[in-house]
Structure 1
Amino acid sequence: MGNHHEGQRVSRRRMLVGVSSVGLGALVTACAGKSAVTTSTGETVELQAVTDADLTALFDGARTCTLAASTTQGPYYFDADKIRSDIREDKQGAKLRLALQLQDSETCKPIPHAVVEIWQCDAGGLYSGAEAASGGGGGTPPTGSPPPGGGDADLVPADDKRYLRGAQVTNQLGIVDFMTIWPGWYRGRTVHVHVMVHVGNEKTLTTQLMFDEALNAKVLATQPYVQHTGRDTFNDGDYIYRPSMLLKVTQARDGYVGSIVLNADPDHDGG
């Protein structure tokens, strides 16, 4: 989505408590009503700026108030201090536009002004700030995340790389969108994107997004993904995968568009 703070290093934690030089209010104002997502044009879609009214069409058929499944944050999370929509940097891969809408699981109403972070591996299974730990340099492939219930300690990054990590603030319709690439895979895990949602100064939801295996097969058979061989874990064998985590994916002329409605419980009352 349009944001003149794009690329600025703004700590999510400092932003939420209002002591950053670029406050949450300014970021929300910049985001609201300026989302750049996709609109349907026949059998394909194009990535373009659309109005808030058009934007809701992405989430047709996904109207549910079921609380999104929570997961461990995994071993490779840290606050990347990056408010931006395009998180690709120099990473090559199939272009993927992610449009996420955040709702309250009790009321089904959008949640505006929330901070949504995403992070993922590149086409070779590597995470920025943790390339050695995640199998960098052609070394031992990374293993999967710890079982649910563990792995929630923040990573101390080993370098200043921040590719395929970023955060956005939901607009009045609870929507954020990111430009990224289709994730690769690493040993013990299926293809996925991590998501963390913060409402106020509370961590409200940590979850993951998955992809249909027919599409995974299609994308992973192309460059540069095909250089990473030996995939060992698919959706049906992944211990975190749930059908509710599957993105609705549409092929675009220049990549793919993935959308999903995420229902969170800001009150933490189980509703």
Structure 2
Amino acid sequence: MGHDHEGQRVSRRTALAGIGAVGLGAILAACSESPTGGRTPTPVPTTGGGTATITPRATGPADLAALLEQARTCTLTPATTQGPYYFDAGKIRSDIREDREGVRLTLGIKVQDTETCAPLRDAVVEIWHCDAAGLYSGAESLSRGGGGGPGDLTPLDDERYLRGAQVTGEDGIVRFTTIWPGWYPGRTVHIHAMVHISDQRVLTTQVMFDEALNTKVLAAAPYAARGGRDTFNDDDSIYQDSMLLKLAEDGDGYLGAIVFAADSADSDGGGS
């Protein structure tokens, strides 16, 4: 696993809450299951004087669990570039859609140890991706012009759509509600993901989509307004078969599932 130390050492506090906005102890307490097994969303104080609502350790419905079983693997998930538009969005939530229009995607991610195949509890999973128009929140002007460089980005606007983080439970699973990503020149359709364990980024990777379903989804509004793509899975510079989601129709949207096998030992992890 390649190590790029620039920006890799991120405290759990920052990874969970965004620039220390929510204390680690408060988040872990909020995420702890109650004696009766309840998962009631819990407000916790932020350093700015407000509150953030933490949804304890989301797990998916039965259909999503079945997809995750199909996706079962114990092969180290490939590390990739984090891309030019990553920053800690400070959003601990499962529904990351904000006001973005698009086909609903319920995404289940299971994090497990690559050596033991055991689920990893208390791992922070972040995802971020572009909207139907190919724009990234916090970087709309840059993503219109293809700008941005390596390393973490200083946000250029106040938008925070299609970015969020969740904390795994005993089963190692988190669930996000988002939309099918759009596309932009030079890349196939994808979602970025990062896994934090303790104070380290142990995995930075990307998630890809079946091309037949990409064609179907992107032919409808609001995606169709952008016209044809120039890059598909088979000519994308990052795509690997192991990055493909397991997908199933779910009403007017889709369920997607993937397993991340990460190195939970002392390492700087996944590259940037």
Structures share fold, TM-score greater than 0.5: yes
Mark the runs of 5 or more structure 2 residues left unpaired by the alignment. 1-12, 34-38, 40-54
Match of 1:225 among 223, 226, 232: 223
For 1:218, what is the secondary structure of its paired residue? helix
Which AA in structure 2 matches 1:127? Answer: Y
Q: CA deviation at 1:11?
A: 4.2
> If the length of structure 2 is used for normalisation, what is the TM-score?
0.80
Match of 1:25 in 2: 28
Question: Deviation per CA, 1:152-174, whole angstroms, max 9, x where unpaired?
Answer: x1111011110000000001100
Distance 2:222 2:21 in 1: 41
Match of 2:6 in 1: none
2:268 matches 1:245: no
Which AA in structure 2 matches 1:107? Answer: T
**1:16–1:67 Cα change, 3 Å:** farther
Which AA in structure 1 matches 2:199? Answer: N
Q: Are the aligned partners of 1:11 and 1:80 in contact in 2 as well (CA < 8 Å)? A: no
Question: Deviation per CA, 1:183-225, whole angstroms, max 9, x where unpaired?
Answer: 0000100000000000011111000000000000000000000
Q: Are the aligned partners of 1:15 and 1:23 in contact in 2 as well (CA < 8 Å)? A: no
2:119 matches 1:110: yes
Q: Are the aligned partners of 2:16 and 2:165 in contact in 1 as well (CA < 8 Å)? A: no
Mark the runs of 5 or more structure 1 residues left unpaired by the alignment. 1-9, 41-54
Note the 1:149-164 alignment, pairs <5 A: 151=150, 153-164=151-162
Q: How many residues were matched structurally?
A: 236
Question: Deviation per CA, 1:72-122, whole angstroms, max 9, x where unpaired?
Answer: 100000000010000000000000000000000000000000110000000
Distance 1:212 1:38 in 2: 22
Q: Are the aligned partners of 1:204 and 1:264 in contact in 2 as well (CA < 8 Å)? A: yes
Note the 1:126-137 alignment, pairs <5 A: 126-135=135-144
Q: Are the aligned partners of 1:96 and 1:258 in contact in 2 as well (CA < 8 Å)? A: yes
Distance 2:60 2:254 in 1: 11
For 1:132, what is the secondary structure of its paired residue? helix
Identical residues among aligned pairs (%): 56
Distance 1:33 1:56 in 2: 18
Q: Are the aligned partners of 1:196 and 1:203 in contact in 2 as well (CA < 8 Å)? A: yes
Distance 1:85 1:243 in 2: 26
Which AA in structure 1 matches 2:246? Answer: K
Match of 1:5 in 2: none
Q: CA deviation at 1:266?
A: 1.5
**1:34–1:165 Cα change, 3 Å:** closer
Q: CA deviation at 1:19?
A: 7.2
Q: CA deviation at 1:18?
A: 11
**1:33–1:57 Cα change, 3 Å:** farther
Q: Are the aligned partners of 1:93 and 1:224 in contact in 2 as well (CA < 8 Å)? A: yes
Q: Are the aligned partners of 1:59 and 1:260 in contact in 2 as well (CA < 8 Å)? A: yes
For 1:23, what is the secondary structure of its paired residue? helix
2:120 matches 1:120: no
**1:17–1:252 Cα change, 3 Å:** same
Distance 2:28 2:199 in 1: 14
Distance 2:71 2:105 in 1: 19
Which AA in structure 2 matches 1:173? Answer: D
Runs of 4+, deviation exceeding 2 Å = 10-19, 21-24, 30-40, 55-58
For 1:195, what is the secondary structure of its paired residue? strand
Match of 2:253 among 252, 255, 263: 255
